[in-house]
Structures are given as C-alpha cells and as structure tokens.
Chains A and B, each alone.
Chain A
Amino acid sequence: MKSLILVACVATASLASASLAIGSNRAPSRHPGEVLYERWCSGCHDPAVPNKIGRLGPSIPAGTLVLSERYGKDIPAPLEQRTDLTPELIETVVRNGVGFMPFFRKTELSDAELKQLADYLSKNKTALINRSKAGGAGQ
C-alpha cells in the first residue's frame, strides 16, 4: 500500500569468485554459462513473475521491462528465450553497457567467463543455425 511504503533502502551501493562456492537455484546444468547467467544477469533479464510485488509496487526485472517495451511482440524480452543473440553482441554489451545496464569488469567476469556466458546465451541461435545447416525442417 502506498501509505505504508517505507523506503528503507537505496540503490547503488554500492557482485566472480573462484574461492567462494555460489549455489545455484536451478537444476544442475552442464553449461557453466548458465551459472554465470544466473549470478550476474538473471536479476534483470529473467522472465517476469506474474503479480510479483517489490518494494515499489509491481516488479518486473528491469532489463526485461525495458526490452519488452522496445521490442513489443517481435522479439522475446527475457534473454534466455532469444534466438538472435550472437557471442559478439553479448560480449559487446557486457563490456560496454547499454542504457542503465552497466558494463562488467574483468575482475567480475573474466574474458574466459564472458565467453562461456556468451556461448550459453547464443545457444538458441547456434542450435537454430545447426538445424538449418543439417537441412532440418523449417520453422
């Protein structure tokens, strides 16, 4: 309720640790990029949870919200559902940022980890290309 919203926290404050085990909430996956996605990207890029209420009212992951407004129905907003992502695009966006998405330093996501993340997020596109090359059935 707006009358009882207590603004207890502020943004910005002011997150890759090889020495600290980070648990995953997802089912075990063989792709290390998925673990990295969950750690660094999911907070902003996961699908919206229906009726989720956050501190400021209805809450949709910020990246998904902005992308859904930009793409409408043409392209899925949640990153894991995209089939058009390339490793180059992921790497460029992660290292340069876009809009209010900040860039990530190499002490957070090393070049090797970024490659794993990019491979993971572009997998749908890769799978699509591989099916096309194999002469699989069209969409």
Chain B
Amino acid sequence: MKIPDGTSESAFKAALQEFSNVVGRDNVYTKEEDVALYRDAYSPFADQAGKVHEAGAAVAPATVEQVQAIMRIANKYKVPISPVSTGRNLGYGGSAPVLSGAVVLDLKRMDKIIEVNERDGYMIVEPGVSFIDAHKHLMSIGSKLRVSSPEPGWGSPVGNGLERGVGSATMDNFSLLKGFEVVLPSGELLRTGCGAVPNSKLWGLNEYGFGPHITGMFSQSNFGVVTKGIFWLTPQWEATQGISIESYRSEDLESYIETLYPLRNSGMIVGFLAGSPIRESMSRNDGRRPFGVPAVTELLMTADGGSFAQWDELAAATKIPAAQAAVQFRGHPNVIAAQVALVKDICKDLPGTLKLSPVMDAGIGYEPNIDFDILGNQGYSRGHYYFSPIFRVDMEEIYAVNDVIRRTCIDHGDPDMAGYFGWNGAFTGLGAGKHGLILMDILVHDDPALNNKRAELFGKLVKACGARGWPEYRAAIYFMDTVMDQFSFADHSLRRFHETVKDALDPNGILAPGKSGIWPKRLRRA
C-alpha cells in the first residue's frame, strides 16, 4: 500500500476504515489489483516505479452526504483526497492523483441527471454523468438540446468543464458551466450564485448572484469537490457551412486573418482556422494523414525552416496552398446563406480562391461516442498526451509558435518529433477567450527511455513557449508545476494568491494537493 507523504500509515488505515463505515466496504478499494485501476492508462511514466503517479486507495461515494463525511474524516486524519469525475481524463492524469498515495475520490457512482430544463436550455448533473449518458438521455426525452462533447464522449460535462476542455459546441466547456454545488474541504456544502438563494429558480440562469463571482475558482483547482454542475445546452442547429480562402503565396495569410478574424467580434463565426496546407501536408500530429511530398519534410528540417519563396515554389509545384483561412457558420440555412454572402463580399478584393463547403445537415459536430480515430490512425501506442500552447491569432505568431516548437524538438535531439509534428495551423472557436490554439499530441510508447526523453522535451516546450508569452491552457498532472511556473509576474504573485486561498479553505491541505501547482502549506516546496 502506497502511503502519501505527510500521512502516517496508522492514520491512513484508520481513515480507510472510517470511509468503509460511510460508503460500505465494497466501495473502498485497498487491494492491490483494485487500487491499480487508479492510475493514468496514458501516463508517459507507466511501469516506472517511483515516477508513475499511483493511488494509495480509492473510495466511491454515491451521495453528497457521503462526500461530506469523507472530507470530514480526511481532515481528522490528514489524509489527502483526490477527486475524479468519470476518471477518463486520459493523458492528463486519468484516474490517478497528483500526489502519489492519495485516496482517489471516484465520483462515477454519482451519475444522476437531476434536471433538464428545455425552455431555458440547461441541465443539472452529477459529476459521474458522461457526455454519452447525457446525450442519450436528451434523445430519450425528445429534447432539442445537445451537449457539447469532446471525443471520446465518456468524459464528464462537470469534470471536462472544470478542466476548461474543448467540446463540439465551444472550445471552452467551462463557458457552459454556470453554477455549482460544492463540498468544501471542511465538508461544508456550498451553492454558487443564485443557488445560494433558497427557492430561487435562477441557479442555472444567473451565475453571479451577488458579490464576487466564484464559479471560476473551482475550475482547474483544488478548492472544493463539485457535486452538482449546471451545464448550458445548445439547441440542435439546422446546418453548418464553411467558407475558406487560399492561395499559393504564404504572405497572403496576413490579409486573410486580418479580414476574417474580426468577424469573431460580432459572434458571426463559430470556428476559425488559419494555416499553411503545404507546410502542414506531412504532419502526422493528432491523427492527421500526410498528403504531401517528402520535399515538405526536407524543407521544414532545414536550419531556417524554409523561406516564403521556397515554400511558395513548392506550393505551386504540388498545387497545395501556402496560405489558407477558413471560417465556419452554424444555424438556420437562411441565416447561413446571408452570412456566407456577406463574407464573400468582404473577401472580394482578397487574393486567392474562395471555396464554399457544402451545407451540412444538423449535427453538433457529431454524436458523442467512444471515438478513437486520432489514436487509431497512428498504429500501436500506449496512448498520448497533449502540448497545447495558446497565442494571439496573427500570422507572425502562428509562424513563430511553429518555429519555436520545431527548433526546441531539434535542439533536444528529437528530429523525429519535429518531423511528426511538422507544422500546424491555429484554430479558435467560441468560448471565453479570443486566442488561438495548437494541439500537439505526444504518443506514449513501450520504450521508457523514449517516453522520458519526450516528457523532458515537453518541459522544454512549455518553457520555450512560456518565455514567448504562449502558456498552456491546461496541463497533465506530470507538468502542472512547470506550467504554473510560466505565470511568473511579480515574483509569481498569481501562484501565491492561489496558495493563500488554498490555505484558507483547506488548512489541513487534504484536497488534491498539487493540482495546478497549488500545494498546501504542509507540502509546499521552498
């Protein structure tokens, strides 16, 4: 049995006994083969004793009252508790704790859909509900509403939203999470916003209530265990359509972005892509299938990555564009038709070729399913994890981010990774931010030395991009401290603010120590 740092074995065992009294012995996991199920299946450190994050035990409550009792017991014995919702955050930590030896609080059994409000467009769910469950339920009751799901859809709207994950309706699922019921580290129960007004119908309709707006505090943090979440749902829209513009001149990307990106400000576009298909054409990143020629990789791997003139020549020769931007609309076909006409007019003086995708019927992207196309396209692996820098959407930044990634891989002695990633355009969509995102997936192999080399590379990528002002929007448990280190303004005042709040809410430091680099006082590094 793995005992966490700062906890005695006797206290740990006493706590487990008291957990059994609360949830029943069958819902406390202490046998080695059961506790082994509380790790990240996609960990780059799998099978490496001492490096792999492992649980000490796990407990699976079914009710809010049980969660409260567990937190009180954890405080009594100073035993760390690490909550997971559906525990499917593969490659970000899965069902593993940040602090090895912590007791994982497995909330999968709390899987009730408490309410669907069709008129006001929201659902209230427990953390163990998956996107697939929610979708099937909505279908079964004849709802017109759809849930914004990542792929695969076995994650949790609550958990994924709290992680600020990307979904099919928005690139920021937290922007759809509007209110919570939370068990605080003390065991006390809290409802946010208008949920704190008894008998109010406004809990799902006004997230602020009065005073400080605190829902964000529970995202990517360790300040409380969310036991109910209010997730706004998007009505099924009738159609989607995309319009793109492309040319064989790299420099045209600037005018494309500067013309089309501001449409985001009026809310007209729901998705935006900007890139260079010729440079992207040999990328195998994130399940892409190469469609270019070997000369693309050769040029990318030269010292300067190829000049605009060289790329434009290759683009003309292969008929693969050197610059491309695309926007996506969704809604009623009449509305889309008007938007498309407007964009055609806006783009009429731009160089290059405008292309319209077919109008696609319905569908919020696709139905949530257990979809593994990204990994399936890449042959055998033991999973993957993501490097995900965010940056301003302009031509200079997109080229710079790609250049820093390329150089960092090569300087690390990993040209294979540089060749695998190739070059990727930026995408952005609806959500709280106006930033662009690149997702670089790093495969996990059977070779621990290679996995360790790539994990080291990851740290270098975080630092190299952080130094340029491009932080991560989200992080796996392996890299949380490194990512938080990039937010260093005023001698890391942001992290110290997090720590101050942590010490106030969780003086015994028992809830998910280390999540997002927030360590309780008793475990804080100097």
Determine which of B150, B246, B287 lies in contact with A13 in the assembled complex, contact meaning CB atoms within 8 Å. B150
Query: Is the beta-carbon distance between A9 and B150 smaller than 8 angstroms?
Result: yes
Q: Mark A1-37, 1 if CB is under 8 A from B, else 0.
A: 1111111111111110101111100000000000000
Given contacts A6-B427, A66-B379, contact A20 B111 (CB under 8 A): yes
By a CB distance below 8 angstroms, the chain A residues around B87 are 105, 107-108
Q: Mark B195-206, 1 if CB is under 8 A from A, else 0.
A: 000000000000
By a CB distance below 8 angstroms, the chain A residues around B221 are none
By a CB distance below 8 angstroms, the chain B residues around A61 are 372, 376
CA distance in complex: A10, B87 (Å):
17
Query: Is the beta-carbon distance between A9 and B365 smaller than 8 angstroms?
Result: yes
Task: Select the residue from A9, A12, A13, A15 with max chain B CB neighbours within 10 A.
Answer: A13
Q: Mark B485-524, 1 if CB is under 8 A from A, else 0.
A: 0000000000000000000000000000000000000000
Query: Is the beta-carbon distance between B152 and A43 smaller than 8 angstroms?
Result: yes
Task: Select the residue from A3, A12, A95, A103 with max chain B CB neighbours within 10 A.
Answer: A12
Determine which of A2, A15, A55, A65 lies in contact with B154 in the assembled complex, contact meaning CB atoms within 8 Å. A15
By a CB distance below 8 angstroms, the chain A residues around B163 are 13-14
Which segment, of B11-19, B72-80, B126-134, B306-314, faces chain A?
A: B126-134
Shortest distance between the CB of A53 and any CB in chain B (Å): 10
The chain A residue sitting closest to B289, CB to CB, is A57
Given contacts A20-B113, A43-B370, A105-B37, contact A13 B242 (CB under 8 A): no
Q: Is the interface of A mostly helix, strand, loop or mixed?
A: loop
Q: Mark B24-58, 1 if CB is under 8 A from A, else 0.
A: 00000100011001100110000000000000000
Tell yes or no: A132 within 8 A of B by CB. no
By a CB distance below 8 angstroms, the chain A residues around B355 are 3-4
Query: Is the beta-carbon distance between A40 and B370 smaller than 8 angstroms?
Result: yes
Q: Is the interface of B mostly helix, strand, loop or mixed?
A: loop
By a CB distance below 8 angstroms, the chain A residues around B112 are 19-20
* Contacting residues of chain A (97-132) with chain B, CB-CB under 8 angstroms: 97, 99-100, 102-108
Query: Is the beta-carbon distance between B373 and A14 smaller than 8 angstroms?
Result: no
CA distance in complex: A95, B429 (Å):
37
Query: Is the beta-carbon distance between A43 and B133 smaller than 8 angstroms?
Result: no
CA distance in complex: A103, B36 (Å):
10
Shortest distance between the CB of A24 and any CB in chain B (Å): 10
Given contacts A19-B112, A100-B383, contact A10 B166 (CB under 8 A): yes
* Contacting residues of chain B (56-93) with chain A, CB-CB under 8 angstroms: 60, 85-92
Given contacts A7-B439, A14-B90, A23-B136, contact A105 B38 (CB under 8 A): yes
Interface size on B, residues (CB 8 A): 89
Task: Select the residue from A17, A23, A66 with max chain B CB neighbours within 10 A.
Answer: A17
By a CB distance below 8 angstroms, the chain A residues around B229 are none
Query: Is the beta-carbon distance between A8 and B152 smaller than 8 angstroms?
Result: no
Query: Is the beta-carbon distance between B140 and A4 smaller than 8 angstroms?
Result: no
CA distance in complex: A22, B132 (Å):
10
CA distance in complex: A9, B160 (Å):
12
Tell yes or no: A69 within 8 A of B by CB. yes
By a CB distance below 8 angstroms, the chain A residues around B383 are 100, 102
Shortest distance between the CB of B16 and any CB in chain A (Å): 16
The chain A residue sitting closest to B271, CB to CB, is A6
The chain A residue sitting closest to B60, CB to CB, is A107
Given contacts A55-B373, A105-B106, contact A23 B88 (CB under 8 A): no
The chain B residue sitting closest to A41, CB to CB, is B370
Query: Is the beta-carbon distance between B150 and A12 smaller than 8 angstroms?
Result: yes
Shortest distance between the CB of A105 and any CB in chain B (Å): 4
The chain A residue sitting closest to B154, CB to CB, is A15
Q: Total contacts A to B, CB within 8 angstroms?
A: 200
CA distance in complex: A102, B130 (Å):
17
By a CB distance below 8 angstroms, the chain B residues around A104 are 37
Query: Is the beta-carbon distance between B374 and A15 smaller than 8 angstroms?
Result: no
Shortest distance between the CB of B265 and any CB in chain A (Å): 19
Query: Is the beta-carbon distance between A106 and B37 smaller than 8 angstroms?
Result: yes
Query: Is the beta-carbon distance between A14 and B89 smaller than 8 angstroms?
Result: yes
Query: Is the beta-carbon distance between A3 and B91 smaller than 8 angstroms?
Result: no
Query: Is the beta-carbon distance between B324 and A3 smaller than 8 angstroms?
Result: yes
CA distance in complex: A5, B281 (Å):
13
Determine which of B109, B165, B246, B271 lies in contact with A10 in the assembled complex, contact meaning CB atoms within 8 Å. B165
Tell yes or no: A62 within 8 A of B by CB. yes
Shortest distance between the CB of A1 and any CB in chain B (Å): 7
CA distance in complex: A4, B277 (Å):
11
CA distance in complex: A55, B288 (Å):
10
By a CB distance below 8 angstroms, the chain A residues around B361 are none
* Contacting residues of chain A (59-87) with chain B, CB-CB under 8 angstroms: 59-63, 65-66, 69
Query: Is the beta-carbon distance between B33 and A95 smaller than 8 angstroms?
Result: yes
Tell yes or no: B381 within 8 A of A by CB. yes
Determine which of B130, B326, B439 lies in contact with A6 in the assembled complex, contact meaning CB atoms within 8 Å. B326
By a CB distance below 8 angstroms, the chain A residues around B140 are 21, 23
Determine which of A3, A60, A97 lies in contact with B321 in the assembled complex, contact meaning CB atoms within 8 Å. A3
6 contacts between A and B (CB under 8 A): A10-B150, A14-B88, A22-B136, A43-B371, A69-B379, A107-B108
A contacts, CB < 8 Å to B: 1-15, 17, 19-23, 40, 42-44, 54-57, 59-63, 65-66, 69, 95, 97, 99-100, 102-108
